[in-house]
Amino acid sequence: MKRITTYLMIAIAAMSLASCLSSNEMASEYLEKFPGDKDFPQVKIYVCLPTEVIHTNQTLNQIDNFLYLSPSVQDSIIIANTKFLNRIDDKVFLQQFTDNLLYHLRRTGAQVEAVADRNAIPRTGENCFVLNIPQIEAEEFIKKSRSEFVEKNGTYYHYDYVLNGYSTNVWYLFGNDTNAVYYKNFEIMDKFKGQVEEVKNKKASVTGKFRRININDVYEDVAFAGKRTAILFVEKIVSEYLASKGRDNTYYIYNPIYNGLGVDALSTQAVKNRTFQKINNK
């Protein structure tokens, strides 16, 4: 009886391993079929791209009665409190996003077509997918931050400073569903590195260096947003395919460099943070 039980446990373990391997193979083989062959039609991805950039400065939103100030005063405040938005060339901004998005989608071998009118997109099918990006936003903000430490005797010290922040925010619709809206933001921020030089008379002397973000960082961020959008969309396609085959317990990471999939031991929360965020149901 003990020998039979042992054999049964080995068989169950082998079946479990085979199931895991078949999921890996299933995901990889599906991605390999994107270019199409004699038995499998080429995957088609229709992309409806944004045509304008929304500019948002959260710093101005925090100024009381800003909208009621005179135009000249508003202009002065805008100049004093704007680091990036007034320097962004929307054409360059959109080009950075679009070029990186389309390039990395095409790494899969799929037929990728950019369309100007989402109403002209055909209905999705088994090998036809739609990525609609109705809105993209360039957002500027500041963040109040604090570095702190406690001496051995328990005396508490802190140093306050302000960091400049920037975020490319993107909204998505998938397939022919116009009710479920998804969102992803790509945020960058100043970096601060400080050092305590002296503690004397219960006062701490701190020196610090800032690595301030600039307009080039903004363009790099939107380029990254385009690349990342493509990667996450490919992962979404593969994940939904596996789920349709009853294999939805593993998340596969897409790497466009070698056009392949890898498996990371991501927690449920980590997967949720990585993927597109659903923000509403109309």
Q: In whole angstroms, how large is the CA radius of gyration of the chain? A: 25
Assess contact for 136 and 170: CB atoms under 8 A.
yes
**Residue whose token pair is 């965020």:** 277
Phi, psi (5° rounding) for residue 228?
Answer: -65, -35
Three-state secondary-structure class, residue 55 = strand
For residues 70 and 25, the model is more confident at 25
Q: For 185-207, how does the pLDDT look when each residue is reduced to its tens digit (9 = 90+)?
A: 999 999 988 776 677 666 767 77
Give the whole-angstrom CA distance, residue 192 versus residue 161. 9
Contacts of 117 (CB under 8 A, 6+ apart): 48
Mean pLDDT of 11-40: 74
Among 45, 16, 18, 38, which residue's Cα sits nearest to residue 238? 45
The pTM of the full predicted model, rounded to 2 decimals, is 0.84
* Pairing relationship of beta strands 203-211 and 156-174 according to DSSP bridges: unpaired
For residues 19 and 78, the model is more confident at 78
- Residue 180: enclosing H or E segment and its boundaries? strand 180-189
Among 28, 34, 184, which residue's Cα sits nearest to residue 112? 34
Q: 7: exposed, middle or buried (C-beta count within 10 Å: 0-12, 13-18, 19+)? A: exposed
Q: For 37-60, how does the pLDDT look when each residue is reduced to its tens digit (9 = 90+)?
A: 888 999 999 999 999 999 998 887
